Chain A
Amino acid sequence: MMLAIQIILIVVLTPLVGGLLAGFDRIISARVQGRKGPPLLQPFYDVLKLLQKENIQVNKTYKFYVYVSLLFIILTAVIMLIGGDILLAIFVLTLGAIFFVFGGYASQSPYSIIGAERELLQMMAYEPMVLITAAGLYMVSKTFFIGEIIARDVPAIVYLPAVFIGFVYILTFKLRKSPFDLSLGHHAHQELVQGISTEYSGTELAVIEITHWYETIISLVFVYIFFVTSNPISHVFAIIACIVVYLFEIILDNSTVRVKWQLALKSAWIVTGVLSIMNLMILSFFKF
Chain B
Amino acid sequence: MNFNTKSPWILHYDGTSCNGCDIEVLACLTPLYDVERFGVINTGNPRHADILLITGSVNDQSIPVVKQLYEQMADPKVVVAVGICATSGGLFTDCYNVVGGVDKVLPVDVYVPGCAARPQAIIDGVVKALAILDEKQNAMKK
Contact = CB atoms under 8 A, between A and B. Distances in A.
Interface of A: 26, 30, 33-39, 42, 45-46, 48-49, 52-56, 186, 189-190, 193-194, 197-202, 205
Interface string B20-40: 000000000011001011110
25 contacts: A26-B36, A30-B36, A33-B31, A34-B31, A36-B34, A42-B7, A48-B3, A49-B6, A49-B50, A52-B4, A53-B74, A53-B76, A56-B47, A56-B72, A189-B43, A189-B44, A189-B45, A194-B44, A194-B47, A199-B47, A200-B47, A201-B47, A201-B74, A202-B74, A205-B48
A52 to B, nearest CB: 6
B75 interface: yes
A198 B31 CA distance: 28
Contacts, number: 77
- The prevalent SS among residues of B at the interface is loop
Contact of B45 (A39, A48, A54, A194): A194
Contacts of A33: 31
Q: How large is the interface on B (under 10, 10 to 19, 20 to 34, 35 or more residues)?
A: 20 to 34
Nearest to A44: B3
B140 A54 contact: yes
Contacts of B31: 33-35
A42 B43 contact: no
Interface string B42-86: 111101101000000000000000000000101110000000000
Contacts of A189: 42-45
B7 A194 contact: no
A58 to B, nearest CB: 9
A19 to B, nearest CB: 13
Closest 10 CB pairs of A and B: A189-B44, A54-B75, A49-B3, A45-B6, A48-B3, A34-B31, A35-B34, A201-B47, A54-B74, A46-B7
